[in-house]
Structure 1
């Protein structure tokens, strides 16, 4: 080894960069295990960034001429000078790591910026739209970008804050389903297994920093191509974790293998960190549930008996209006004066009234006041019975205090909601006593019907290869997050957006406020790229990007799930099934915002010139809730719903007073280069508010990022 050390030292004396590379490879070889998973980690990955402006000092590739389908020059160049304006801008570039110097003058429009994964990045986010139907709920976020770089961005916003990661990574089938260094990994590639391991390892190493060490779960799906290697890799990256592998039937019809067994299943690894555990469920996942649990009793809303007459408590005698044609709830009226008869109270157009009047015509009263009834309906604690075919009337029921207390204590659990939003309840002793088995065989998990079929309903005419059943992902997350209604979930291979969809279904079932961070790139399918190139298009062109995964599938699918409408504005046809059945056209009371990852200059960040791109990261770090501060405040400071920003330290007193007066803030960002003044502001902030120094905390986070 000493001889190699001497040779490396001599190489460094001639070329310091070469010496550093040789030493890095030497250390990697020296640290290899004598037993375990050994694989080539290959040269660091690189990714092209179409649409990113070319700057002096950037690494770039030269694109092929428009209209050509062949690959461009894959060598890396450095931009040394840029001259000219507009479309006439020209760049002088120098070949990187060339034995003999080589330079060229190329139109800037024919260059694409390249980021290598050994390079430091300074990320930002640009919003590309949002959907808001969830009131004050946290926002789900969808980020379009290279997932390794997005993971590094999340080390600033979510380090140690993620409750569960669910990923469905490329299965390495050899069918051009993923790229390594801008090139599809084919089945004939002799290094395809080690490339896949290097690809996955880099991302899992960063994601390890995001999971909560005290209690969190990593869930990874895979098939027979790489499940053995993945298992060893997980053991090596998470030595302190408990790991189990599940076999799940996702294709009952079977996928033929010539001369081999027909494959009907895939595998799911659960990596449990800290106190993370599996919660029991009403199904063991191997056998379909037979029969139903004990029924929870709903009480009639109308009082009866001598003490229930209208005149006793007139304020409890009021109409409930329903649609005259459909019977759907419309509104709740107010109690009329004692001398006014029910038939004299006008109904809103197209409605009829339900009064607390018994069959003998006695005017009685409801058990709830109008405000209480409205609140019960909102939270699912009141519901309507079937319509009378003759009168159109419906009975009204509610949950009494005893049952509501059982829900709070966990003795009664919500297993879903009916089509009108009322809770579907079961006693816990009938609901959650079965431990799930390690083999899952449920109709709900069939990918063709409840993955591809459901996606077809949400975004008609848009195809995505092999989407997961939303119910399969929902079940995976339920076992580890069912008792955590405020969980943060991450999927950095989000594809069509199934994980976010599953999180929204879980929230609807128990009123949770879970949020999902979905990460995907905007890669155009391999079989579509040739036609686009022939048409003279390139990555980065609007007419190219509109066909990418994120813009064409992920964002429209999540928007459709929330709004209940297809991208064309039509009501989604069909119903959700199984645990929670209701029309898909109802959508979800959720919020989502869509972002694209940007790459900032550390100089611009430090000089406070990149605030608008950094702003979404500050908002995400504070919980992705409520209003966001998108511009530097003219008054020197500003408060949002969950965080504050101070840019003028001469206004620190007023800022700290406002933070204390508002209450509920989690983070206070202070822009200063003076650590002494920052510490003074930090001491003046209320307890429970985290002080964060900008931009020192941001720059140091990425300057010393762990993924190198």
Structure 2
């Protein structure tokens, strides 16, 4: 037995082949080769086999799809010093290229994210667009964070003079949305902010990735309310927020709470024991003959429905409503009849409209002012989104324990909104923020104040917002609020990659005295193993010692890791004892291969001891 831990993220192509094999085993031949003729036969008329068909394509689309499915060789390294409440928080802030990060999250968070909100570059000609390199994504990311390309040239914004202005943006978005869909729960939803620059193209790629049938709405948000008179034709005052479900049939909208204004409309002038009510029109159109009849008011007035209309109910049902005191003729009993709608019987929430006014959810200027106030009147971000805007999205589609992802985190408004809503309704929503650590301009106010990257500002915003929310929270135990976050940084793998350069074989063998990269901590390696095992990165990690050797206990015995030197059967027995304390049948064990110091006999004894204790061979790995 020698199960080696893979140094790559989930292979999406392999996973897709496995799913296809489960559905149609007859279409695979010669191992993992697909017989497309056989697949067409199985699918019958569902296959489009004509050269002329409707499709949306552009240069590089195929490479983008293949690149998105290519496994990442990177990892996420924990940074306890930059974190807040590292050991207890269930929130994540990840510094890195979101394409590589999404690849790395595929296994740990597949089908676990209830809501995604992103505010990507709008492609206005001034936006920094990610230049993806599918050959080595992590190296590409490291180059981008220095703001230079592989040849040392400075990276520039995606200007309109670029011959592939729209193409570059589409390739960037398509790959990321393709991966984002995988991490959504079956009843999950994604919201994407955009303006007119790429709105129609974004909708087309979303229709392709999520399916036209899963389009929910295109919200119009009034981001400004004062006209800009310098504009030649129109002064744009809105942005769009596209909304798609992973599966529309499973998506549930929570609705919005009734406003004080709406509740104030319910009164009880006749002291009805059923409580407050408001009256509604009793006539409807068009006219139906059986619902056109004479009604005599308590005051003796005889009334017919207006021309072209009829009463809401048949005569028989009207008599039932009348007997049940559900018809209102006004205080003097002589008005046109109206039906009583009781507050206790109506929906407790309101279905949202698709136009969101700035009075309801804020606007760009109010968001800028609020963020400026949080940073002691320092202005670090232009045009951040209002907290109330994101909070409304959260209210509509998240549950109290949902995980929320934003992989274009920017100023971290989404994290702020999650903490704010938790403080208001007692929820325990968790956030995952992902942001490329773009270097700040040395002339900027933020740089002069000691910040070096956008991530530095975003993390500080979460710290300040969390403390402010905690101080202002009412009716909820402040200690129950999770206002912390665990910082992780995208990096190359902690595990050395074997280089089959036989001219330097002696140097390679010297390097492989340890399989781990230099200057990497045990905690770095533990987090990489968690990723490869598909464990959430906020699961608790405990450490216990066995004769001076650290054994990491992840998620209450779900996974045990020992990376120390001189591993022996005492380590294996301690792992078995700890598992038995938890009362679980089995778990997984990862041991450092170098930790046995070449003692194959001791390694075999450890593995046999674990197998005798009920560990399946597939659950025992070395690294």
Q: TM-score, normalised by structure 2?
A: 0.59
Does structure 2 conserve the Cα–Cα contact (< 8 Å) formed by 1:135 and 1:590?
Answer: no
Please report how far the alpha carbon of residue 216 of structure 1 lies from its aligned counterpart in structure 2 after TM superposition.
1.2
Secondary structure of 2:99's match?
Answer: helix
The correspondence for 1:550, drawn from 448, 451, 455, is 455
Q: Which moved more, 1:196-205 or 1:663-672?
A: 663-672
Residues 1:196 and 2:169 are matched in the alignment: yes
Q: Deviations over 1:254-288 (max 9, x none)?
A: 566833332222111111123122112225xxx99
Residue pairs, 1:191-270, within 5 angstroms = 191-212=164-185, 214-239=186-211, 242-244=214-216, 245-254=218-227, 258-270=231-243
Residues 1:441 and 2:349 are matched in the alignment: no
Aligned mates of 1:649, 1:240 — CA distance in 2? 57
Aligned mates of 2:364, 2:98 — CA distance in 1? 27
Please report how far the alpha carbon of residue 189 of structure 1 lies from its aligned counterpart in structure 2 after TM superposition.
2.1
Does structure 2 conserve the Cα–Cα contact (< 8 Å) formed by 1:470 and 1:498?
Answer: yes
Aligned mates of 1:430, 1:129 — CA distance in 2? 51
Q: Residues 435 and 190 of structure 1: is their aligned pair in 2 closer, same or farther, counting only changes over 3 Å?
A: same
Tell me, which stretches of 5 or more residues in structure 2 are unaligned? Answer: 1-48, 133-154, 268-342, 499-513, 594-602
The correspondence for 1:628, drawn from 535, 541, 545, is 541
Query: Which residue matches 1:607?
Result: 515
The correspondence for 1:37, drawn from 35, 53, 56, is 56
Q: Residues 459 and 44 of structure 1: is their aligned pair in 2 closer, same or farther, counting only changes over 3 Å?
A: farther
Q: Deviations over 1:26-81 (max 9, x none)?
A: xxxx9998422211128979xxxxxxxxxxxxxxxxxxxxxxxxxxxxxxxxxxxx
Query: Which residue matches 2:278?
Result: none
Secondary structure of 1:639's match?
Answer: strand
Q: Residues 547 and 131 of structure 1: is their aligned pair in 2 closer, same or farther, counting only changes over 3 Å?
A: closer
The correspondence for 1:277, drawn from 237, 252, 265, is 252
Does structure 1 conserve the Cα–Cα contact (< 8 Å) formed by 2:78 and 2:486?
Answer: no
Residues 1:472 and 2:424 are matched in the alignment: no
Q: Which moved more, 1:271-280 or 1:172-181?
A: 172-181
Residue pairs, 1:665-680, within 5 angstroms = 668-671=588-591
Query: Which residue matches 2:105?
Result: 154
Q: TM-score, normalised by structure 1?
A: 0.52
Please report how far the alpha carbon of residue 143 of structure 1 lies from its aligned counterpart in structure 2 after TM superposition.
1.1
Aligned mates of 1:180, 1:649 — CA distance in 2? 48
Query: Which residue matches 1:509?
Result: 424
Please report how far the alpha carbon of residue 455 of structure 1 lies from its aligned counterpart in structure 2 after TM superposition.
1.0
Q: Deviations over 1:297-354 (max 9, x none)?
A: xxxxxxxxxxxxxxxxxxxxxxxxxxxxxxxxxxxxxxxxxxxxxxxxxxxxxxxxxx
Q: Deviations over 1:218-245 (max 9, x none)?
A: 1111111111000110111122851122
Q: Deviations over 1:106-128 (max 9, x none)?
A: xxxxxxxxx99978422131305
Does structure 1 conserve the Cα–Cα contact (< 8 Å) formed by 2:95 and 2:435?
Answer: yes
Please report how far the alpha carbon of residue 682 of structure 1 lies from its aligned counterpart in structure 2 after TM superposition.
8.2
The correspondence for 2:77, drawn from 125, 137, 144, is 125
Residue pairs, 1:480-559, within 5 angstroms = 480-481=397-398, 484-525=399-440, 528=441, 546-551=451-456, 553-559=457-463
Q: Residues 215 and 595 of structure 1: is their aligned pair in 2 closer, same or farther, counting only changes over 3 Å?
A: same
Residues 1:561 and 2:561 are matched in the alignment: no
The correspondence for 2:120, drawn from 146, 164, 169, is 169
Does structure 1 conserve the Cα–Cα contact (< 8 Å) formed by 2:96 and 2:489?
Answer: yes
The correspondence for 1:637, drawn from 535, 551, 560, is 551
Q: Deviations over 1:198-220 (max 9, x none)?
A: 010111122222222x2211111
Q: Which has the larger share of helix? A: 2
Q: Residues 436 and 655 of structure 1: is their aligned pair in 2 closer, same or farther, counting only changes over 3 Å?
A: same
Query: Which residue matches 1:86?
Result: none
Please report how far the alpha carbon of residue 631 of structure 1 lies from its aligned counterpart in structure 2 after TM superposition.
10
Does structure 2 conserve the Cα–Cα contact (< 8 Å) formed by 1:144 and 1:521?
Answer: yes
Please report how far the alpha carbon of residue 591 of structure 1 lies from its aligned counterpart in structure 2 after TM superposition.
2.2
Please report how far the alpha carbon of residue 504 of structure 1 lies from its aligned counterpart in structure 2 after TM superposition.
1.0
**What is the RMSD computed on CA atoms of the aligned residues?**
4.6
Please report how far the alpha carbon of residue 250 of structure 1 lies from its aligned counterpart in structure 2 after TM superposition.
2.0
Q: Residues 153 and 616 of structure 1: is their aligned pair in 2 closer, same or farther, counting only changes over 3 Å?
A: same
Please report how far the alpha carbon of residue 520 of structure 1 lies from its aligned counterpart in structure 2 after TM superposition.
0.5
Q: Deviations over 1:351-391 (max 9, x none)?
A: xxxxxxxxxxxxxxxxxxxxxxxxxxxxxxxxxxxxxxxxx
Q: Residues 635 and 150 of structure 1: is their aligned pair in 2 closer, same or farther, counting only changes over 3 Å?
A: same
Does structure 1 conserve the Cα–Cα contact (< 8 Å) formed by 2:437 and 2:454?
Answer: yes
Secondary structure of 1:175's match?
Answer: coil
Tell me, which stretches of 5 or more residues in structure 1 are unaligned? Answer: 1-29, 46-114, 296-426, 533-541, 566-570, 697-708
Aligned mates of 1:503, 1:616 — CA distance in 2? 25
Aligned mates of 1:247, 1:679 — CA distance in 2? 63
Residue pairs, 1:624-703, within 5 angstroms = 624-625=537-538, 627-628=540-541, 634-635=548-549, 637-640=551-554, 642=556, 643-647=558-562, 650=569, 651-662=571-582, 668-671=588-591, 694=621
Aligned length: 433
Secondary structure of 1:178's match?
Answer: coil
Does structure 1 conserve the Cα–Cα contact (< 8 Å) formed by 2:120 and 2:408?
Answer: yes
Secondary structure of 1:516's match?
Answer: strand
Aligned mates of 1:38, 1:679 — CA distance in 2? 55
Does structure 2 conserve the Cα–Cα contact (< 8 Å) formed by 1:44 and 1:118?
Answer: no
Q: Residues 660 and 472 of structure 1: is their aligned pair in 2 closer, same or farther, counting only changes over 3 Å?
A: farther
Please report how far the alpha carbon of residue 150 of structure 1 lies from its aligned counterpart in structure 2 after TM superposition.
1.2
Please report how far the alpha carbon of residue 480 of structure 1 lies from its aligned counterpart in structure 2 after TM superposition.
0.7
Aligned mates of 2:354, 2:168 — CA distance in 1? 30
